[in-house]
Amino acid sequence: MEIATKCPICETLGNAIPVYPSNVDDTSFSTEVFSARRLPDRRHYQWVRCNSCTLLRSDPVLDVDLEKLYVESTFDYSTEVDGLKRTYFDLVMKALSGKKLKKSIFEVGGGNGFFLEAAKDGGFLSVAGVEPSTEAINAAREDIKPTMIASMMKSGVLTPNSFEVGTMFHTLDHLPDPVGTLKDCYEALASDGVFIVAVHNERSWSAKLMKERSPIIDVEHTHLYTRKSGEALFKKAGFIDVKSGAYNNHYSLAYILHLIPISRAFRKKVLESSIGTMLSKIKVVVPLGNMWIAGTKP
């Protein structure tokens, strides 16, 4: 059954211009498709742009049990973890702008807790994670695993008013109710706590260049943001001192190939060959069109 979606910022239903037509089919909703950093296959819902606030969203969507898909999703990006740890920890330090907040931090949708490892090793005294995938949690480092909660983010999952910092990396784009989830994260923060997300920038050079062929135009994504719309979303959830910025990714050349919109069969063949193994060992720092948004709880 198709469900019309409402703009989470201006709350209008309809009132949007079609941008890309839907191409989903019966194979578009599986555990593999909803596993993090899978090989892109360019399946997506219809994308529309809101006439009021210009937010890009999927509309309509199908009535799918997303929680079940994410609970059963797999952990398939272990070769990129070191680069991701460095990228996200540096991003958080940049977004905190020198604030000395290192007592407690939580992460929503953190896979096997690799960022929590970086946070703990980087001086945070207490860490916690909310992650629906049981396979990912089972792959967590032994000292991190007990700090992780197997759940989607909901009100009450984390103790209210108890964390100095909260984070969410490339998860906000997937949420059907981003404002509701941001409010749940807001609830977990102490006063003057800071919440930081990383998301795709749908107006970045790479998104403009590749358009519908961009890996961010994907069935997993429900909304795609710009710095303006991302900041507006944070303000709607109650955050103040909202700011945003671009960041670079630390990736292997193999992962860059993973993202390029060429033949999926060709990419898979190369990545599974000795050439793919070689490319996975060559690390680069690249501006792929991602951004961070941060806001403070009053």
pLDDT of 156 higher than 80: yes
pTM, full prediction? 0.88
Residues 6 or more apart whose Cβ sits within 8 Å of residue 11: none
CATH code at position 246: 3.40.50.150
For the stretch 231-270, pLDDT in tens is 999 999 999 999 999 999 887 787 777 677 777 777 778 7
Q: What is the pLDDT of residue 76?
A: 60
Mean pLDDT of 187-201: 97
Mean pLDDT of 113-133: 96
The separation between CA 263 and the C-alpha centre of its own chain, rounded to angstroms, equals: 25
Q: What residues make up the domain containing 161?
A: 2-296
Average pLDDT score over the chain: 89
For the stretch 29-84, pLDDT in tens is 655 555 555 556 678 999 999 999 999 999 999 887 666 666 656 556 567 788 89
109, with CB counted inside 10 A (0-12, 13-18, 19+), is buried
Q: How many domains does the chain have?
A: 1
How far apart, in Å, are the Cα atoms of 179 and each of 9, 159, 176, 223, 282?
Answer: 8, 19, 9, 11, 38
* Contact predicate 75/133, CB 8 Å: yes
Q: Which stretches of 68-169 are assigned E, i.e. beta strand? A: 104-108, 126-131, 148-150, 163-169
The separation between CA 208 and the C-alpha centre of its own chain, rounded to angstroms, equals: 20
Q: Can you state the angle between helices 114-121 and 81-96, rounded to 10 degrees?
A: 60
